[in-house]
Amino acid sequence: MLGAPAAGGKIRLETANGRFFVDCADEDCPRVEDVLSRLMGISGWAKTGRHEKTVEAVLRACVEEGQKLFSRGVTTFKIEARRTDKSFPLDSYGLRSEGGRAILDAVPGLKVDVRNPGGLIKIEIREKAYVYSNAQKGLGGLPVGTAGRGLLLLSGGIDSPVAGFLMASRGMGIDAVHFHAYPYSSLEARQKAVRLAEILGAYCMGIRLHIIGFTKIQLRIKERAPLPWTTILLRMAMMECAEKLALLIKDKCLITGESLSQVASQTIENLTCTQSRIRLPVLRPLIGADKEAIIRKAETIGAYETSILPYEDCCTLFSPPHPVLRGDPREASALYEELEPEVLIEEALRDCETLKCGFC
Ligand code: ATP
Ligand code: MG
């Protein structure tokens, strides 16, 4: 909830009886509302004044809310009232009927419609009186950070930002890692991942994005591996590198945007190969989601437009025309060992660049 203008342009957060109050000046409200609209774990919020607990003040505030509704073209309203302070002279029925009467008298264009109101005015009598008509639905879910931290493998595509969003909405704090193959992948592709981390970070109280150069590893794969296996082996190397990073930064799991059978590397057999050499759990929140639903979610969170920018990601550079569809994990492991990737992975990790994205 947004309180009355705060003195000195400061934004203050208070809690009282299970509610948070953000007390800010009117000019800061759009910024505060923008943050609230992306905050996991709140069911909703409203901009309200904080009024004296007198019948006159409450009725005056009801009339103001009625006028606001009418000026926005609303012609019908309903009042909901809650009185937790039982010493207030009007009970909730009295608040509804007196409030309604005051509005009908002062705003002749408005009518009551309890079944299908154009606007809902809420009155709450608590430690103070609150009257508001603009309640907004929040994102729900659980507050970010209450369910440990996970490391999101963030490509420049549509799926991985959505996967990160879903885990954040279950309370998981998100770190991210992006692998690039500069100069084979462009700087624009890297920038796209940064932008996606910023968009996602706005929902997760910020994200630390770790950017890791994978060019040498990709060249090693190209040089030593049979062409149909290159994508699976690249994914295995990404997983191993991500796991090492996760252990360093104390994340409890890896998160990917993989979805069953979306592409050749995501058959159940190939997903098994991909994770066969690591021990941390790999969370795949999109595993059973179809692409249409993922795209809709990407649009809702504001990532889609960025995700579809046409910059080649490192995975598309060496993708084989006829990839292995049902890899055997033992064969995958043997081929992986022939790459001798350890030193290259250590080197890539040492050169990792870390950016803070989306902190507000
Ligand atoms: P997305 O799945 O995000 O739309 P994509 O379709 O290009 O991107 P896939 O080929 O489906 O990527 O890759 C599956 C998953 O592997 C991604 O969701 C992501 O978690 C991880 N991944 C792929 N490429 C990268 C990369 N360059 N850096 C980090 N993670 C990656
Ligand atoms: Mg994908």
Q: What is the predicted pLDDT for the residue at 16?
A: 85
- Each residue's pLDDT tens digit, 208-260: 999 999 999 999 999 999 999 999 999 999 999 999 999 999 999 999 999 99
Q: What is the predicted pLDDT for the residue at 198?
A: 98
Amino acid at the residue 196: L
Cα gap 155→238, rounded to integer Å? 11
- Each residue's pLDDT tens digit, 142-155: 999 999 999 999 99
Long-range contacts of 18-25 (CB under 8 A, 24+ apart): 19/126, 21/50
Which of 336, 159, 193 minimizes the C-alpha distance to 263?
Answer: 159
Q: Measured on CA atoms in the order 161, 165, 167, 168, is the torsion positive or negative?
A: positive
Q: Whose CA is nearest to atom 22 of ligand 1?
A: 155
For residue 202, give both structure tokens: 């706005």
Ligand 1 pocket check for 159: Cβ under 6 Å: yes
Residue 294 alpha carbon, nearest atom of ligand 1? 4
Ligand nearest to the Cα of 313, by number = 1
Å from CA of 160 to ligand 1 middle: 6
Q: What is the predicted pLDDT for the residue at 357?
A: 97
2 pLDDT band, cuts 50/70/90, is low
- Each residue's pLDDT tens digit, 146-200: 999 999 999 999 999 999 999 999 999 999 999 999 998 889 999 999 999 999 9
- Each residue's pLDDT tens digit, 78-136: 999 999 999 999 999 999 999 999 999 999 999 999 999 999 999 999 999 999 998 99
CATH topology agreement for domains 7-137 and 149-357: no
> Which backbone phi and psi does 321 adopt, to 5 degrees?
-65, -30
Considering the four listed CATH numbers 3.40.1210.10, 3.30.2130.30, 3.20.20.140, 3.30.930.10, the one that applies to the domain covering 7-137 is: 3.30.2130.30
6 pLDDT band, cuts 50/70/90, is low
Q: What is the predicted pLDDT for the residue at 48?
A: 93
Question: Which segment of 7-11, 171-175, 314-318, 344-348 scores lowest on mean pLDDT?
Answer: 314-318
Q: Measured on CA atoms in the order 296, 153, 261, 314, is the torsion positive or negative?
A: positive
Å from CA of 257 to ligand 1 middle: 6
- Each residue's pLDDT tens digit, 266-319: 999 999 999 999 999 999 999 999 999 999 999 999 999 999 999 877 666 678
Q: What is the predicted pLDDT for the residue at 8?
A: 58
Q: Whose CA is nearest to atom 9 of ligand 1?
A: 258
Q: Which helix or strand (DSSP H or E) is residue 118 part of?
A: none
Residue 3 has pLDDT above 60, yes or no: no
Ligand nearest to the Cα of 210, by number = 1
Cα gap 350→353, rounded to integer Å? 9
- Please identify which residue in the block is written with the tokens 């729900």: 140
Å from CA of 290 to ligand 1 middle: 16
Å from CA of 49 to ligand 2 middle: 46
Across all residues in the chain, what is the average pLDDT? 94
Å from CA of 272 to ligand 2 middle: 16
Ligand 1 pocket check for 232: Cβ under 6 Å: no
pTM score = 0.92
Which of 287, 275, 283 minimizes the C-alpha distance to 240?
Answer: 275
For residue 221, give both structure tokens: 């794969």
List the chain domain ranges: 7-137, 149-357
Q: What is the predicted pLDDT for the residue at 10?
A: 86
Give the CATH fold of the 149-357 domain: Rossmann fold (3.40.50)
Of 151, 153, 241, 255, best ligand 1 pocket probe by most atoms within 8 Å of the beta carbon: 153
Q: What is the predicted pLDDT for the residue at 170?
A: 98
